[in-house]
Structure 1
Amino acid sequence: MYYYIIVALQVLCFYHCYKNNKEYYWYFIIFFIPLVGCIIYLITQVVNKKDVSIISEEITTIINPTKKIKDLETAVKFSDTFQNKINLADAYSEIKEYNNAILYYEKALDSGFKNDPYTLNKLIKCYYKVGNFDKVIAYSQKINLEKEFQESIYFYGLALEKKAYFKEAEIQLKKLDIRYSNYNERLELSKFLIRRNKNAAAKEVLKEMLQEIKSMSKQNAKRYKAVFMEAEKVTNEL
């Protein structure tokens, strides 16, 4: 059976090779290294080359993240456009170099896109990560978080707490208390309520979360296992 599968795969590759006028050396690779040769041919010649390029780029980024940064820095030097600066800032943000990310996001805003909401939203996370809570609050108030950037309400709420705007912080964090979603954010809401000596309200949030995760499929419950365990721990400590 295995033999016939290999032969069928070879025939398929030979046919594709012939139909698309591929180089002759592919015939030798497919014939003399049957399985491996066919796999190499399919990946490099049949699979969408754009997809292969993307996968290759992602692997290179994982192995050598600084290469992507250097390439994007070169792009900015060659063409100092808004998009090139955003791409470089995004790359810095991906590797958690938030100060550098902030630098290029701000430069992008200065190039005629002062109130671009998507850039401002990215800055909210970066400024939170470096502990600049004043900037988090200022930029959060410039865009409609509820309409387009709900994930940033989390950073906004916690930044408000850091600056002692407790009432407003609670209002913002409670916007994330949506059933069957936002488990990490709701866990943080419960901890915020505990810090504000509102244990009964915190228990209610935790109780709902635990019940929801218990009623999930095994696959989804496994996904939120860490949140479930932390929620149980916080509940038991109350």
Structure 2
Amino acid sequence: MWYYLIIALQGFCIYHAIKNRRPYYWIFIIFFLSLLGCIIYIITQVYSKRDAEKISSEITNIINPTKKIRDLEKQVEFSDTYQNRVNLADAHLENKDYQNALKHYQNALDGNFQNDFYVIKNMIEAYHHIEDYKSVVSYGEQIKSHPEFKKSRTQFLYGLALEKEGEIAKAEENLKAIDIRFSFYNERLVYANFLLNINKKDEAKEILESLISEGQHMTKPNKKLYGTTISEAKKLLEVL
């Protein structure tokens, strides 16, 4: 339990440091000094009664996500506003309860916010996870003209759904949009596999080579996050 509490505290402190633009060395202090680093950071950079209460609440939510959901449900019961409903849906999505997330997102959209990009984007994420590709395509059509849709994970999921629905040319067009250097590592590996499946070996090879090259210049945290992806790219390239 203490191990997970410390990890949660480190995550919060690093998030706080980045959000509040603290000097970059704080991230190293928090990461390498573990609990001691967190305590030093909180005392010198965070502490106030209000902030302490917020830290306690967020750590509790990480350790016990169902408490966060119960609290948000009470807020909806007390005041069934658009934002309270979306907050509850977000909590279900974070907890991987996609059906309940979709229910509350849909209830929010039933008001006067039919074109809310944020809500529809999260609905697409949920529909993707339950493999309802028709709904992903349908909602993707609603927001594909939005500026934030372009070169986003949402466009990537829309492209995958188009593939499942047999719209290969449209799928390729949307998947290609996330082929951006030093980003979307996991998605680009999926895109490379897509290209191989439609017999575009040279294009797939180019993406795999880029991933491997970029992997050599990653920071240590990114190497931990995407090490498996880079390894898979190497394995796939070896058999081409």
Fold conserved between structures, TM > 0.5: yes
- Aligned 1:143-162 pairs, distance under 5 A: 143-144=143-144, 147-149=147-149, 150-162=152-164
Higher Cα Rg: structure 1 or 2? 1
Provide Cα deviations, 1:92-129, integer angstroms capped at 9, x if missing partner: 00110011000000000002211211111111101111
Residues of 1 paired with 2:211 and 2:112: CA distance?
44
- Aligned 1:73-222 pairs, distance under 5 A: 73-144=73-144, 147-149=147-149, 150-217=152-219, 220-222=222-224
1:49 matched residue in structure 2: 49
Identical counterparts, % of pairs: 46
Distance 1:101 1:177, change over 3 A: same
Residues of 2 paired with 1:225 and 1:97: CA distance?
28
- AA matched with 1:191: N
Distance 1:230 1:133, change over 3 A: same
Number of aligned residues:
196
- Residue ranges of structure 1 left out of the alignment (5+ in a row): 1-38
- Residue ranges of structure 2 left out of the alignment (5+ in a row): 1-38
Residues of 2 paired with 1:146 and 1:108: CA distance?
20
- AA matched with 1:92: H
Residues of 2 paired with 1:224 and 1:133: CA distance?
26
Distance 1:85 1:137, change over 3 A: same
Residues of 1 paired with 2:209 and 2:87: CA distance?
42
Q: CA deviation at 1:145?
A: 6.3
Distance 1:74 1:215, change over 3 A: closer
Provide Cα deviations, 1:155-213, integer angstroms capped at 9, x if missing partner: 10111111111110011000111122211111110011112222222111101111122
Residues of 2 paired with 1:72 and 1:220: CA distance?
33
Residues of 1 paired with 2:232 and 2:72: CA distance?
40
- AA matched with 2:230: F
- AA matched with 1:156: Y
Distance 1:51 1:215, change over 3 A: same
1:233 matched residue in structure 2: 235
Q: Is the 8 A contact 2:89 2:102 kept in 1?
A: yes
2:64 matched residue in structure 1: 64
Q: CA deviation at 1:218?
A: 5.2
Q: Is the 8 A contact 1:173 1:189 kept in 2?
A: yes
Distance 1:109 1:219, change over 3 A: closer
Q: Is the 8 A contact 2:88 2:104 kept in 1?
A: yes
Residues of 2 paired with 1:218 and 1:113: CA distance?
42
- AA matched with 2:155: I
Tell me the secondary structure at the aligned position of residue 178 of structure 1: coil
Residues of 1 paired with 2:157 and 2:71: CA distance?
31
Q: State the TM-score, normalizing by the size of structure 2.
A: 0.75
Residues of 2 paired with 1:236 and 1:151: CA distance?
28
Q: State the TM-score, normalizing by the size of structure 1.
A: 0.76
Q: Is the 8 A contact 2:61 2:67 kept in 1?
A: yes
Q: Is the 8 A contact 2:76 2:85 kept in 1?
A: yes
- AA matched with 2:59: I
